[in-house]
Amino acid sequence: MTTVMIRHADARMAAIADKVERGERLTLEDGVYLYETDDLLTLGQLANLANLRKNGKKVYFIENMSLYFTNVCEAHCAFCNFRRDQGEDGSYTLSGQEMIDFVDQHIHPDVREFHIVGGHNTHVPFQYYVDSLRILNQTYPNVTLKAYTAAEIDFYTRISGLSIEEVLRQLMDAGLQSLTGGGAEILSDEYRKKMRVEKAGVDRYLEVHRTAHQLGMKTHTTMLYGAIESHEDRVSHMIKIRELQDETNGFLVFIPLSMQPKSPKASIKRRNSAYEDLKTIAISRLMLDNIQHIKAYFINIGTQLTQVALTFGASDVHGTIVKERISHAAGALTPEGLTRDELIWLIKGAGRIPVERDTFYNEVKVYE
Among 61, 114, 138, 105, which residue's Cα sits nearest to residue 341?
61
16 is in an annotated binding site: no
> According to the annotation, is 73 in a ligand binding site?
yes
Residue 166: alpha-carbon gap to chain centroid: 25
The burial class, CB within 10 Å (0-12 / 13-18 / 19+), for 198 is middle
Residue 22, annotated as binding a ligand? no
* Nearest C-alpha neighbor of 350 from the set 314, 297, 301: 314
**Distances from the Cα of 138 to the Cαs of 75, 77, 167, 338, in angstroms?**
31, 34, 20, 27
CA distance 236 to 220: 18
Cα 25 to its chain centre, rounded Å, is: 23
Nearest to 115 by CA among 231, 1, 23, 220: 220
CA distance 15 to 280: 20
Identify residue 187 by its one-letter amino acid code: L
Binding residues for [4Fe-4S] cluster: 73, 77, 80
What residues form the annotated binding site? 73, 77, 80
